[in-house]
Chains A and B, each alone.
Chain A
């Protein structure tokens, strides 16, 4: 595998891991149309601010959140560009499924009596 393909796999994995958590998906919905400060995001959650900070960090590392400083505040916005590589999940999903189809059909075919 080339270095760039490996890097792209890592990026996709980071995005999908970030999306696999329901609280992080909720954060993305909150900032989907409005840029929000960390405190505003935390006010929507029962969990500790520390836990929210952790989620923000994971989302930011995955590229799903862009952070902007405004004085002392940190503002977060959703970056839809980060979702583009996840197309790769579906691009892997179907070939994997079709390979299983091939194996199953050819296996059954070998067991058929020749006419």
Chain B
């Protein structure tokens, strides 16, 4: 059972997830921008240059995410785009992930919104998106 709550909004084709972490935003934030801390919760290799325009690169088993940092406001907000090399529907940088950290007493409420998922526009460009989903399937199933 997951304690992070997913939400789907079919209207704007985004995915939102939230989690409460028993640590201050200042403690949580480095895990979003420091490669050695990031790979402890997502992926196994990361190259991150956390400044606007800086590289965001993450390998998650067979899936690869490539993009750019857009907003880095320690310790409350980070926005990066990502996509998959070789994908026509989700090329590097084509979808956007926004993470906001809000202090709640001694804890942090983290909200993640992944926007621009090309589920509805998949038909003319089925290749890249289905490849990416195939990759995601492998890693999601491997971990659940």
Partner-B contacts on A (CB < 8 A): 16-17, 19-20, 25, 28-29, 32-33, 78, 80, 83-84, 86-106, 108-109
Q: B124 near A104 (CB under 8 angstroms)?
A: no
Given contacts A29-B127, A105-B21, contact A90 B136 (CB under 8 A): yes
Q: Which of B22, B23, B117, B134 contacts A20 (CB 8 A)?
A: B134
Least CB distance from A36 to B in Å reads 14
- SS of A interface (majority): helix
Q: Which of B5, B10, B40 contacts A104 (CB 8 A)?
A: B40
Please report the total number of B residues contacting A with Cβ < 8 Å.
Answer: 44
Q: Does B31 contact A (CB under 8 A)?
A: yes
As a 0/1 sequence over residues 14 to 32 of chain B, the CB contacts with chain A under 8 angstroms (1 = contact) are: 0101111111000110010
Q: Which of A17, A98, A100 contacts B110 (CB 8 A)?
A: A98
Q: Closest B-chain residue to A90, C-beta based?
A: B15
As a 0/1 sequence over residues 125 to 144 of chain B, the CB contacts with chain A under 8 angstroms (1 = contact) are: 01100110110111010011
Within 8 A of A (CB), among B2-54: 2-8, 10, 15, 17-23, 27-28, 31, 37, 40-42
Q: B17 near A94 (CB under 8 angstroms)?
A: yes
Q: Does B112 contact A (CB under 8 A)?
A: yes
Question: Which residues of B lie under 8 Å from residue A20 when comparing CB positions?
Answer: 134, 137-138
Cα A103 to Cα B137 with chains together (Å): 23
Least CB distance from B60 to A in Å reads 9
Cα A35 to Cα B28 with chains together (Å): 51
Question: Which residues of B lie under 8 Å from residue A88 when comparing CB positions?
Answer: 8
As a 0/1 sequence over residues 47 to 67 of chain B, the CB contacts with chain A under 8 angstroms (1 = contact) are: 000000000000000000000
Q: A90 near B117 (CB under 8 angstroms)?
A: yes
Given contacts A20-B138, A104-B31, contact A99 B4 (CB under 8 A): yes
Given contact pairs A19-B133, A91-B8, A101-B19, enumerate 19 new A-B contacts (beta carbons under 8 Å).
A19-B130, A25-B134, A28-B126, A32-B124, A33-B123, A84-B119, A87-B8, A94-B6, A95-B6, A98-B110, A99-B19, A101-B42, A102-B4, A104-B41, A105-B28, A106-B23, A108-B27, A109-B22, A109-B27
